[in-house]
Amino acid sequence: MWPWEHLVFGYVLYSTLNALVWEQPIEDGTGLALAVATQLPDLVDKPLSWTFGLVATGYGPAHSLFVAGPIALGVVAVLWTRGKTRVAVAVLVGYGSHLFADVLALRANGPNVARALWPLVSQPPYESDLGFFERFTEYFGTFLLQMMHTENVGLVLGYVSIFVIVAVRWVMDGMPGIRWARRKVKYVT
């Protein structure tokens, strides 16, 4: 999944949970924790693979239930004991949604539980040895070409619709992140 897709998936899950449990706007810090947690596995494992060649694919320790799972639960436990319940839940939902989405792998040949079982189960290495920017460019170029094919109009409309719906949900949640950005801009000026 693309970073924005992980963010949207995690946000929808957390926003729904927040509305059901707390019925309050999502605070900026909680929204930031959620956003970072939805990206963290890729921010660790993609460079480990694509830049440093330390793991065979972009699914390494940060995607592993055996490595990242205990670390994430430790972070959540610390936040929870410090009274940061909503932040702890946001981290758990964000990180968990990333792993769940990668296991589902809807656009990449279907479910693949092995992605979350590193180092016990290794993924087949990439066929080509590309650096971070070359691999990203290759993947993003393929994504753009797929989106521009006329036979994918329905897919593109569905894709855009999901983002519009999530944007509306974000506005209904009080636009977490915008308040923080406004405060920072006022502070600078």
Mean pLDDT of 178-188: 73
Distance of alpha carbon 96 from alpha carbon 86, whole angstroms: 15
Residue 189's pLDDT is 63
pTM of the model: 0.86
Over 90: is that where the pLDDT of 106 sits? no
Q: Which residue has the higher pLDDT, 109 or 8?
A: 8
CB-CB neighbours of 163 under 10 Å: 12
CA-closest candidate to residue 62, choices 38, 92, 42:
42
Both tokens assigned to 181? 């950005």
Work out whether the CA dihedral 177, 43, 11, 20 comes out positive or negative. negative
